[in-house]
């Protein structure tokens, strides 16, 4: 949240915006490092430094006021950033807990599927064994039946 600088003697919020003089364009040398000012507070500070006319007085009241406003803006920004970091930490913790819950659920389901698969294989083997024994029994009974149907078996007195 930024605080707007109004001319001294202004009471309340002005209905018309206060005209802000534009600072002259910066002449930048290619080989010299340059600091680019961004944001409302930094622009206000640059304007206050630009408007400082007295060379004898290193910091005019306007410059000090702009520096104070810049410090307040920075404090507000720090507080907002801390709140955002806390919200993101809380969100990350919630998402991590949810991921852990889903991971545990997936591990449990995987283990359950393994148990079910082993049980299905056991039942399948049991059914194959029963089927195989019944097929052998059928084959044996069919052989016996075929043996008893032979005409020479009947002559011997077999049933």
What interhelical angle do 61-149 and 40-51 show, nearest 10? Answer: 160
Longest Cα–Cα distance of the chain, Å, equals 145
pLDDT value for 65:
82
pLDDT value for 152:
63
Rounded mean pLDDT for each run of 10 residues along the chain, 159 residues in total = 56 56 58 51 62 60 81 91 96 97 96 96 96 94 81 61
Domain ranges of the chain: 40-156
pLDDT value for 64:
80
pLDDT value for 155:
61
pLDDT value for 144:
84
pLDDT value for 148:
73
How many Å apart are CA 103 and CA 101, to the nearest integer? 5
Torsion of CA 40, 46, 49, 50, to 10 degrees: -120
pLDDT value for 37:
44
List phi, psi (to 5°) of 27. -95, 115
Those residues with Cβ within 8 angstroms of residue 44's Cβ, 6 or more apart along the chain or in another chain = 5, 66, 69, 70
pLDDT value for 70:
86
Residues 8, 65: contact at Cβ < 8 Å?
no
Global pTM value = 0.42
pLDDT value for 44:
62
């Amino acid at each position: 949240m930024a605080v707007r600088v109004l001319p001294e003697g202004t009471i309340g919020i002005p209905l018309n915006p206060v005209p802000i003089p534009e600072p002259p364009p910066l002449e930048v040398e290619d080989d010299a490092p340059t600091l680019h000012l961004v944001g409302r507070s930094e622009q206000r500070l640059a304007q206050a430094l630009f408007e400082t006319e007295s060379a004898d007085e290193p910091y005019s009241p306007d410059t000090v006021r702009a520096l104070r406003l810049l410090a307040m803006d920075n404090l507000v920004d720090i507080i907002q950033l801390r709140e955002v970091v806390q919200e993101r930490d809380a969100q990350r913790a919630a998402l991590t807990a949810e991921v852990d819950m889903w991971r545990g659920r997936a591990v449990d389901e995987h283990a359950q599927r393994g148990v079910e698969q082993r049980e299905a294989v056991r039942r399948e083997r049991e059914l194959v064994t029963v089927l195989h024994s019944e097929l052998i029994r059928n084959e044996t009974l069919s052989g016996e039946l075929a043996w008893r149907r032979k005409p020479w078996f009947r002559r011997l007195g077999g049933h």
